[in-house]
Structure 1
Amino acid sequence: MKSDFHMHSSFSGDSDTPMLDMIEYAIALGLGTICFTEHYDEDYPEGEDDFSLDTSAYYTTLCIFKEQYASKINIRFGVELGMQPHLVALYTKYVQSWPFDFVIASQHVLNHADPYYPSFWNGKKPSDVICSYFEETLKNLQLMKEYDTLAHLDYIVRYAGSGHTSYHYSQYSDVIDPVLRYLIEHGKCLEVNTAGFKYGLGHPNPREEVLKRYLELGGELITIGSDGHKPEHLAYGFDLLPDLLNDLGFRYYCIFQNRKPEFLKLSV
């Protein structure tokens, strides 16, 4: 696995790592192509992290390093958009204003609050919240047009507490299947996010049963990303993916340039 298409640097509000450090570590790992996908979460909950993005500074810096390291690694320009229904028009104009190679859609907040923070869960029944999260994801996808992949479909279970991080697809099939079908019908990719291994969940996000169901429904388009915010998290768990994905029935994954997919065979 020589391509990581979900990674962050200090241009994202939750990373302190200089872009150059991420690039040099990626080269040391032997990666051939990387895509920075810095966070842009407009109207993020007040008083929590700042996920605004200085896109001009980000793009200028990336272009400098892209040229400087062209003989060693292919660097691509991406963004991760934090979906909320009222942001669709803003995001559409934003994406169309920059020469992105790759655009990630992510569901980070629910009812204008982020499940990353423990206070989010106070007084809530986790299974009900998880259902609402998947329903909100579908609602946002139906509104959004300018994206290439849906990231970490079951992001919320990372923070749902004991007994829920190890959920099974069958518990939520009625709200997960419509999301998978929508992606398939509209030619969008589903991301295999390896941060689940980093968080000790023992699975990618989404879990294997969801990926299997995606295939059963006719889905084939996947992207792969570590969601790394530090050098040591780049390509995290990538050694596990060829066997895992081949066993499920996948034969290739997608990388993007100028918003157009390139299909790479999985190796074993």
Structure 2
Amino acid sequence: MQTKILSDIHLHSSFSGDSETPMEAMIQAGIQKGLHHMCFTEHLDLDYPYHPEDFVDFSLDDDSYRQTFLTLRDKYQHQIELLFGIELGLQPHLKDAHSQLLKKHPFDFVIGSSHTARGEDPYYTSSFFQNRGEREAYTLYFTSILENLDAFSDIDTYGHIDYVVRYGPNRNKNYTYEMYGEVLDQILKTLIQKGIGMEVNSGGLKYGLGQPNPCEEIIRRYHQLGGKIITIGSDAHSPEYLAYEFPKISEILKSCGFTHYTIFRQRTPVFLPL
């Protein structure tokens, strides 16, 4: 019998600044889709750059988030396993603030993501790519991941490590693993050495890249280097993108040599068959 991926562990609700969907609506949609596990990973991006024309507040009312989650976990405990997570927008100077938050709440799962590089988000293309060629901008972004990992590594997986290509001038048209192989290998080896997983985020497919984030070449290279912890998330901010293109993600992972993917309970990895 073919195994399906029935766990989506990168999800957002209205507790995240860029979602308007109530948490309960996301849970009900997950149940309808037949998911066995859902992990909410609400955004916390401290010191996020201010853009007056399109600013999103990525602060988090963590106490309210926790209480709502617990109420809904109890309500739906016989229908689906709900896990409590967070997505930290990493920047080196935030390490102490992040450490304090992780001591405050018993998270099941912590994603570390780079939404900014040197204080700029590639989403704001006019500023991030201004006066930088595409290759320089992508290299800057990847280098910032190493800086983040050097400063703070109390995370379970690194989210969408080539997020930058969603917004590049040519997106992934000219982008290959080989072009950035030196810095990407440093990232992958650091993750493996520190026991941190790598996320496969189906948002890249939603954004029309034809690939998840990271791309298939990076997933294959992670496996070649000995990486074993693969987490899978849709990064859905609304119900229609829950478990988005997970059958394709499964095919990609198998083609790269993986037989299992990973969820986390109480910060402990649990391996499930693909």
**TM-score with structure 2 length normalisation?**
0.95
2:89 — aligned with what?
Answer: 82
Confirm whether residue 69 of structure 1 aligns to residue 79 of structure 2.
no
Matched positions, count: 266
Give the alignment partner of residue 205 of structure 1, picking from 203, 210, 213: 213
SS at 2:82 equivalent: strand
CA distance in 2, matches of 1:180, 1:42: 25
Q: How far is the alpha carbon of 1:210 from its aligned partner? A: 0.5
The Cα shift of 1:163 comes to 5.5
**Candidates 223, 243, 255, aligned match of 1:215:** 223
Aligned to 2:132: 124
Range with bigger deviation, 111-120 or 62-71: 111-120
Task: Give the whole-Å Cα distance in 1 for the aligned partners of 2:34 and 2:85.
Answer: 20
Among 18, 40, 47, the alignment partner of 2:44 is: 40
2:200 counterpart of 1:192: yes
Residue in structure 1 matched with residue 19 of structure 2 by the alignment: 15
Greater mean deviation of Cα atoms: 109-118 or 192-201: 109-118
Deviating runs (4+, > 6 A) in structure 1? Answer: none
Shift of 1:186: 1.1
Contact 2:153 2:194 in 1 (8 A): no
In angstroms, what is the RMSD of aligned CA positions? 1.0
Aligned to 2:105: 98
Indicate the residue corresponding to 2:120 in structure 1: 113
Distance 2:153 2:248 in 1: 32
What is the DSSP-based 3-state SS (H/G/I as helix, E as strand, rest coil) of the residue aligned with 2:119? Answer: coil
1:135 is the counterpart of 2:139 = no
Question: For 2:118, what is the secondary structure of its paired residue?
Answer: coil
- TM-score w.r.t. length of structure 1: 0.97
Q: Is the 8 A contact 1:102 1:256 kept in 2?
A: yes
User: Contact 1:11–1:54 at 8 Å: present in 2 too?
Assistant: yes
Report the Cα offset of residue 241 of structure 1. Answer: 2.0
Query: Which residue is equivalent to 1:25?
Result: 29
CA deviation after TM superposition for structure 1 residue 165, in Å: 5.0
Deviation, structure 1 residue 118: 2.5
**TM superposition shift of 1:123:** 2.2
Cα distance between partner residues in 2 of 1:243 and 1:109 = 30
Q: CA deviation at 1:131?
A: 0.4
- In structure 1, runs of 5+ residues without a counterpart are none
**CA separation of 1:232/1:219 partners in 2, compared to 1, >3 Å: closer, same or farther?**
same
- CA contact under 8 A between 2:212 and 2:249: conserved in structure 1? no
Give the structure 2 partner of residue 245 of structure 1.
253
What is the aligned-residue identity percentage?
A: 47
Q: Give the whole-Å Cα distance in 2 for the aligned partners of 1:32 and 1:38.
A: 19
Q: Distance in 2 between matches of 1:108 and 1:244?
A: 25
Q: CA offset at residue 49 of structure 1?
A: 1.1
In the other structure, the counterpart of 1:160 is: 168
Verify the 8 A CA contact 2:46 2:89 in the aligned structure 1: yes
